[in-house]
Amino acid sequence: MPPKALPRPLARLEVVVQAKTKELWLELCEQAANEQDPNKFRTIVLEIIVVLELKTGRLRQSSPQLASSEFALIRCALCQMPVPLESSKTDENGKAVHEQCYLLRLRLEQATIPPTD
């Protein structure tokens, strides 16, 4: 049975919330890509994780069949979210990862290595 349509004002509100969430997501990703301070970088990454968890919760509520079928999918070794087979990459251990997760991990490792003199 398809999900019940929201009343018109609530549907518009949901569109606004989704747009704001996307803006926040893009802003956080841009901040992470440009941040040089390791502590600030970690804080931004944690905020990104929170936004992803909120999105996952909304997806589960709106699509129960997605929630039940997602356990059969291959999961990213870094974020534990499903990885579509057609876009999956592998890390140095041969585990499936999202390209963005892998790049963030490399950036985090690079940011936490003390500079050599």
Q: What is the pLDDT of residues 64-97, one digit of tens each?
A: 655 555 445 688 888 888 888 777 888 888 888 8
Say how many Å lie between the first and final Cα of the chain, rounded: 64
Tell me how far CA of residue 88 lies from CA of 3, 25, 77, 81, in angstroms: 30, 21, 11, 12
- Tens digits of per-residue pLDDT, 19-53? 676 778 788 888 888 989 988 888 888 888 777 77
Domain ranges of the chain: 19-112
Q: What is the pTM of this model?
A: 0.42
